[in-house]
């Protein structure tokens, strides 16, 4: 995945959901992963819309979270980008509302 790895020039902490703990709270493990973070803004009839797109090679999934730039972002959806050989090259991570920000 040489080209994809060159594209991933930043890091984030991946809070991977592993199940529930004894109290019924979400249990996670954390690891540092390579990502690309892209911020953008658009003018719409309702005002300014901001979005952040994050790309990674790792198998981030719904109910996980990514922490970067001082915030923890719950993953709403992870969309795979498939190469010509049928393998997943990157994942585009979409977020819900922020925690701790």
Question: Which domains, and CATH codes, for the chain?
Answer: 2-95 (2.40.10)
Give the model's pLDDT for residue 99: 46
Q: Do the beta carbons of residue 54 and residue 4 sit within 8 Å? A: no
Q: Residue 82 — φ and ψ, nearest 5°?
A: -100, 135
**Residue in the block written with tokens 């790792």:** 58
Q: Can you tell me the distance from the alpha carbon of 98 to that of 65, in angstroms, rounded to the nearest whole number?
A: 10
Give the model's pLDDT for residue 72: 92
Low-confidence ranges of the chain (pLDDT < 70): 1-4, 96-101
32 CA to centre of own chain: 12
Is 0.75 topped by the overall pTM?
yes
What is the DSSP pairing of strand 10-20 with strand 71-82? unpaired
pLDDT tens digits for range 83-97: 899 988 899 998 865
């Amino acid at each position: 995945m040489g080209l994809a790895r060159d594209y991933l020039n930043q890091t984030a902490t991946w809070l991977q959901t592993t199940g529930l703990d004894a109290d019924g709270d979400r249990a996670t493990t954390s690891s540092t992963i390579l990502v690309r973070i892209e911020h953008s803004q658009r003018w719409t009839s309702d005002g300014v819309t901001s979005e952040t797109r994050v790309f990674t090679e790792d198998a981030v999934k719904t109910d996980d979270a990514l922490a970067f730039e001082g915030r923890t972002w719950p993953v709403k959806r992870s969309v795979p980008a498939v190469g010509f050989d049928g393998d997943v090259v990157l994942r585009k991570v979409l977020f819900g509302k922020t925690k701790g920000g």
